[in-house]
Structure 1
Amino acid sequence: MLNLLYYLYDPTYMLVIIGIVLSMLANASLRFIYSKYLKVPSMSGIRGVDAALAILRNNGIYDVQVLPINGELTDNYNPVSKTVNLSEGIYYSTSIAAISVAAHECGHAIQHNSEYLPLTLRTAVVPLASISGALSWPLIVIGFLLSKAGTFFIQLGIFMFLIVVLFQIITLPVEYDASARALKQLKSGGIIQDNEIKGAKKVLDAAALTYVAVAVANALQLLRLMLLSRSRRG
């Protein structure tokens, strides 16, 4: 029990605090920029769903549906069901933010259609990353509760957490590439005007930054776990 208490309150917890602060700043930035450009109507006046459908058709993709879902910033592309899922605030809105987010999710659909390797790899790793994420912390806590006898559980938990971090690192090029494809489609398709590109890029960059923050935060947490494990063995 003393080992677990040390684990919870040791000086390396500063690494966790840094990660939390970075994540909070990234999320705050996203919400500020998203809210700002959600109030700016696009000159084309088309909705997020219309932009998504136009991008898909322009790329010869006809087997992907565009569906509305509940929530805010819950937008995603599901490669299994081949659906671009847009939150209702994006699906029906004609704002710069809505069109940008819709285009980003279509960027993933284009990746899937062209068999973009990082997306294929990420999709394949999803089940393993989900299982690892669910088991890593219980194993680590059990390991610390068992004192020296729990070394195996701690190491196994850290290994599983490493898989989660690697998954998040793989996610970064996928997200940035989808945003790059989104901007290209918005320009080439005439969906937004030249003077609207800057706003669209701000929305997409802010969203991508949240993925970077999460990856950095979890990498710092992983470093902390490795330091604690090493200290414990010593």
Structure 2
Amino acid sequence: MYYGYGLDITYIFVIIGMIITLSASWRMKATFAKYERVRSESNLTGREVAERILRANGIYDVGVRPVSGRLTDHYDPRDKTVSLSEVIYNSTSVAAIAVAAHECGHAIQDNVGYVPLNLRSAFVPAANWGSRLAWPMIVIGLFLGYGNMSNIFIQIGIGMFLLAVIFQIITLPVEFDASKRALAELKSNNILPSGEDRSARKVLFAAAMTYVAAAASGVLQLLRLLLLFNGRGRRN
């Protein structure tokens, strides 16, 4: 879709997606940086909070380990491990406690057989292939010019990109539910007082918005690809 001077009007979707993603990322970093400096009255480290929540839920087959990097925290259902980054593992900040509890939220999901988490885990291979092959397929299609073979490659590429977008959408309920469980655990285990609980909620909400932004950006990019592909089809 080109208008005047060869301008591709669909780039507006890319720009909007970038703005959404950058805004969410900035907010997450700013919120984390703020509460990273606020020490919790509980004086518990991220590791201690994770272990307390896991044990409180009768989960004894999940380990807690440190990993390098900043905000590289994650739960891996394959090896039953809560991995906490260096700024979380040994920190007693409100931000660290919130993130550690969130990752334990995923461990609890796994323990109770939370369907969206199982669906996301099953979808990982397809999403990985989709993210790796989408753009190469589209580029090959463009390189071939116009014609059936070109459109086939582009269709495959868009289909691959769709898989990655679906994964991002499936991730949303998983992340929001993990944060909900985290806040409930922090309250029921008396880990954070009410004031700090509100601060932890802000950290988790800011983190959740990065997933929303990623999904929104993916949908916008997919819409752009569909519009561009339809335009090519009409010119064949």
TM-score, normalised with respect to structure 2: 0.95
Q: Report deviation, 1:11.
A: 1.4
Instruction: Report the counterpart of residue 174 of structure 2 in structure 1.
Output: 174
Q: Give the one of 21, 24, 27 matched to 2:25.
A: 27
Which AA in structure 2 matches 1:138?
Answer: P
Give deviations 1:158-178, integer Å, cap 9, x for gaps.
011111101100000000000
Residue 25 of structure 1 and its aligned partner are, at CA, apart by 0.3
* CA distance, structure 1, for counterparts of residue 179 and residue 101 of structure 2: 8
Q: Does 1:221 align with 2:204?
A: no
Name the structure 2 match of 1:154.
Answer: 154
Aligned to 1:50: 48
Partner Cα separation in structure 2 for residue 58 and residue 9 of structure 1:
59
Of residues 1, 12, 15, the one that matches 1:14 is 12
Amino acid at match of 1:122: R
Q: Pairwise mapping of residues 99-138 of structure 1 onto structure 2 (< 5 A)?
A: 99-138=97-136
Q: Identity rate of aligned residues, in percent?
A: 55
**Structure 2 gap ranges (5+):** none
One-letter identity of the residue aligned with 1:229: F
Aligned partner of residue 148 in structure 1, secondary structure: coil
**Number of residues of Structure 1 aligned to a counterpart in Structure 2:** 228
Residue deviations 1:142-190 (CA, integer Å, cap 9, x gap) = 1111112310000010011111101100000000000000000000000
Residue 9 of structure 1 deviates from its aligned partner by 6.0
Report the TM-score when normalising by structure 1.
0.96
CA distance in 1, matches of 2:61, 2:15: 44
Query: Distance in 1 between the 2:214 and 2:77 partners?
Result: 22
Q: Shift in Å at residue 32 of structure 1? A: 0.3
Rounded Cα–Cα distance in structure 2 between residues aligned with 1:213 and 1:160: 20
The aligned counterpart of 1:141 is: 139
Measure the CA separation in 2 of the matches of 1:132 and 1:196. 40
CA distance in 2, matches of 1:127, 1:151: 25
Q: Which whole-Å CA distance do the structure 2 matches of 1:147 and 1:212 have between them? A: 35
- 2:69 paired residue among 53, 68, 71: 71
CA distance in 2, matches of 1:46, 1:138: 47
Q: Structure 1, residues 201-233: CA drift from partner, whole Å, max 9, x if none?
A: 000000000000000001000000000000010
Write the deviation string for residues 45-74 of structure 1: whole angstroms up to 9, x where unpaired.
000000000000000000000000011111
Q: Let me know the Cα RMSD of the aligned residues.
A: 1.2
Cα distance change on mapping 1:47 and 1:32 into 2, 3 Å = same
**What are structure 1's unaligned runs of at least 5 residues?**
none
